Amino acid sequence: MELVTQADKEKLQRLLQDFHALDRVLTERIAEARGHGDLRENGDYHAAREEKSMNNLRIRELVIRLETLQVINVDEMPSDMVFLGARVRVRDEESGKVETYKIVGSRADDPPTEYREVTSTSPIGEGLMKLRVGETVRVNLPRGERRLTVVEILV
């Protein structure tokens, strides 16, 4: 089960609306292309059908995701522990570099620049969940293991 904030759920619902709107446009493109004659050699028709098929797949995936996710109330989460929706400053123990992450249910298409978004199901997100200031976690990433220490929790 995927945990998300209410804002994340609303963002996913808007995305689903966008996919439905695109589906209507693609249906019109297919009908228009069909009117151009022989379908065997009609590139516009085949391209629109393929795009519609991919869009329908995105719609189905998003509908299933929305049906199975659970919305959490960020206001009910403890302020001294990393939970979904929290911004957290962490120090990489090897490099000493301090970074700010926000734990999200789903990443934004245009993430902010003042912090990096990590999903609660990503290795970093899973590792940081439920930690408190001063606690360290080992996170296995594709480029190797990192040890991260929570420096500050910014709600």
Give per-residue pLDDT as tens, 25-64: 999 988 888 887 777 777 788 888 899 999 999 999 999 9
Query: Residues 109, 86: one domain?
Result: yes
Question: Contact, 106 vs 13, CB < 8 A?
Answer: no
Query: Residues 20, 79: one domain?
Result: no
Q: Which domain holds residue 122?
A: 74-154
Query: Residues 46, 113: one domain?
Result: no
Looking only at the bridges linking them, the beta strands covering 136-141 and 144-154 are antiparallel
**Which structure tokens are listed for 14?**
């808007």
The order of strands in the sheet holding 136-141 is 116-119, 98-104, 87-92, 144-154, 136-141
Query: Residues 78, 63: one domain?
Result: no
Total structural domains in the chain? 2
Q: How far apart are CA 12 and CA 35, in angstroms?
A: 35
Amino acid present at 110: D
Q: How far apart are CA 102 and CA 65, in angstroms?
A: 21
Boundary of a domain, candidates 51, 71, 91: 71
CATH of the domain at 44: 1.10.287.180
Burial of 71 (0-12, 13-18, 19+ CB in 10 A): middle
**Does the reported pTM lie above 0.75?**
no
**pLDDT score for 16:** 95
Query: Residues 64, 88: one domain?
Result: no
Query: Residues 80, 149: one domain?
Result: yes
Query: Residues 47, 114: one domain?
Result: no
Query: Residues 97, 115: one domain?
Result: yes
pLDDT in tens, the chain (155 residues): 677 778 888 888 999 999 999 999 999 988 888 887 777 777 788 888 899 999 999 999 999 989 988 887 767 777 788 888 888 999 999 999 999 998 887 665 555 667 888 888 889 999 998 899 999 999 999 989 999 999 999 86
Query: Residues 65, 102: one domain?
Result: no
Query: Residues 24, 82: one domain?
Result: no
Query: Residues 51, 86: one domain?
Result: no
CA dihedral sign, ordered 25, 31, 35, 41: positive
Boundary of a domain, candidates 71, 88, 121: 71
**Which structure tokens are listed for 70?**
């659970």
Boundary of a domain, candidates 71, 101, 127: 71
Q: How far apart are CA 128 and CA 97, in angstroms?
A: 16
